[in-house]
């Protein structure tokens, strides 16, 4: 049977965020250079959705990752490593016929011409995910269901699954969708389907560069005009920061232990910050004026520019679960991204919550002078991190 049963109600949740997608074993280079010249690699894990789940669990939330891996050693490593972050992996399925995906990458920035990635994921276990073989009860058990456009590119069945999960239906959790446009995955395909999926979600993350490359749409306002349906649209603008368009959340069933704020965003925000009414998951109030909030990015001494988008999404979702104002959600996203940017891999220990909260509470001028480098998450006092140019 394809899809969840019609009219199925969601019971009281014990999970904050459920993330679905492919995770792979990553081979990280022992030194800079071309893949042809790197003599050895260290083993890690990588996957947009599992990265979000790991970051959320490390930040103290109840996170689950749902995926499909091979019945092989790499699959064992993935499940065990993701679980070690405190993520619930009980709904991960093992495929006895297809392998776990792997990839190799260079140490350079993904946005540069010298960056190389060699994927071995065609025909992977995750590419076989479909509406007929995923655990809907577990997927709909959280307050938020987090998806990404990477899954849609893996196979026709995976695209059908995302269409199923983003379809409007009673009891659907708040759907978070990170566009995550990867051009190499869409060779010969139509990336405009990502626009369709984004319009079916409640909360959307998209980079300005992604929107231009995938859809030919330029600028935050034009992106919002093309994606008007989501209650919250986060447009990431690189070094310029992020712009959030927020309106009332779609009504949804409340959970007895959901927690968080239940108020729709108000119209008190001014450009660049201010205190907005928080919009928590499963708000019962819809409508209201659109709030546009821009938050500048941080200056970061970058070690490796990988995993930052996933960390930003995790920080934003964490603050959303806590019912924080929109400005603070973006700032928490920036801080989580900064934590990953200052380490070599895709994952790291996030800053302690009270440390991050102190930084988020800084005034605009102090936020503007904040510069973060390797080791900043271990600092005891936020003042230690404020350095003027």
For residues 333 and 316, the answer to whether their CB atoms sit within 8 Å is yes
Q: How many whole angstroms separate alpha carbon 177 and alpha carbon 155?
A: 18
Q: How many whole angstroms separate alpha carbon 115 and alpha carbon 197?
A: 29
Could you tell me which of 235, 230, 189 has the C-alpha nearest to residue 210?
235
Q: How many whole angstroms separate alpha carbon 185 and alpha carbon 205?
A: 19
Q: How many whole angstroms separate alpha carbon 109 and alpha carbon 17?
A: 29
- Residue 38 to residues 23, 28, 35, 58, 297, Cα–Cα distance (Å): 23, 10, 5, 32, 33
SS3 at position 254 = coil
Structure tokens at 244: 């959030």
| Pairing of the two strands 41-46 and 24-29 | antiparallel
32: left (phi over 0), alpha (psi -120 to 50) or beta: beta
For residues 274 and 327, the answer to whether their CB atoms sit within 8 Å is yes
Q: What is the number of other CB atoms lying within 10 angstroms of the CB of residue 75?
A: 23
Active-site position among 310, 328, 346, 357: 310
310 part of the active site: yes
Angle value at C-alpha 222, between 217 and 228, nearest 5 degrees: 110
Q: How many whole angstroms separate alpha carbon 328 and alpha carbon 269?
A: 12
**Where do we find the tokens 């994952």?**
347
Q: How many whole angstroms separate alpha carbon 159 and alpha carbon 157?
A: 5
Residue 75 phi, psi dihedral angles, 5° rounding:
-65, -40
Active site residues per annotation: 310
């Amino acid at each position: 049977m394809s899809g969840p049963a019609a009219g199925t109600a969601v019971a009281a949740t014990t999970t904050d965020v459920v993330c679905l997608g492919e995770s792979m074993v990553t081979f990280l280079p022992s030194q800079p250079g071309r893949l042809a010249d790197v003599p050895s690699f260290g083993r890690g894990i990588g996957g947009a959705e599992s990265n979000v789940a790991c970051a959320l669990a490390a930040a103290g939330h109840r996170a689950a990752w749902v995926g499909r891996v091979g019945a092989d050693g790499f699959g064992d490593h993935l499940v065990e490593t993701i679980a070690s972050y405190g993520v619930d992996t009980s709904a991960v399925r093992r495929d006895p016929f297809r392998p776990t995906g792997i990839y190799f990458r260079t140490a350079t920035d993904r946005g540069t011409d010298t960056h190389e990635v060699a994927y071995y994921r065609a025909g992977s276990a995750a590419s076989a995910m479909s509406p007929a073989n995923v655990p809907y009860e577990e997927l709909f058990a959280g307050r938020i269901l987090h998806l990404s456009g990477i899954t849609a590119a893996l196979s026709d069945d995976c695209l059908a699954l995302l269409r199923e999960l983003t379809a409007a239906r009673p009891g659907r959790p708040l759907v978070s969708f990170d566009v995550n446009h990867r051009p190499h995955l869409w060779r010969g395909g139509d990336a405009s389907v990502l626009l369709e999926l984004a319009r079916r979600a409640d909360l959307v993350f998209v980079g300005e560069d992604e929107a231009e490359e995938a859809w030919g749409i330029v600028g935050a306002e034009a992106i919002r005009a093309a994606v008007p349906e989501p209650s919250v649209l986060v447009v990431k603008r690189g070094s310029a920061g992020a712009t959030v368009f927020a309106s009332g959340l779609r009504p949804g069933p409340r959970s007895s232990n959901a927690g968080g704020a239940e108020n729709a965003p108000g119209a008190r925000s001014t450009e660049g910050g201010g205190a907005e009414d928080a919009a928590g998951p499963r708000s019962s109030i819809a409508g209201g004026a659109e709030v546009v909030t821009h938050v500048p990015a941080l200056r970061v001494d970058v070690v490796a520019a990988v995993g930052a988008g996933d960390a930003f999404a995790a920080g934003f979702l964490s603050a959303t679960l806590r019912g924080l104002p929109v400005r603070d959600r973006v700032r928490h996203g920036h801080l989580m991204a900064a934590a990953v940017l200052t380490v070599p891999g895709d994952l790291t220990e996030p800053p302690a919550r009270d440390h991050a909260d102190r930084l988020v509470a800084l005034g605009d001028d102090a936020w503007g002078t904040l510069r973060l480098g390797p080791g900043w998450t271990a600092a005891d006092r936020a003042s230690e991190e404020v350095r003027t140019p």
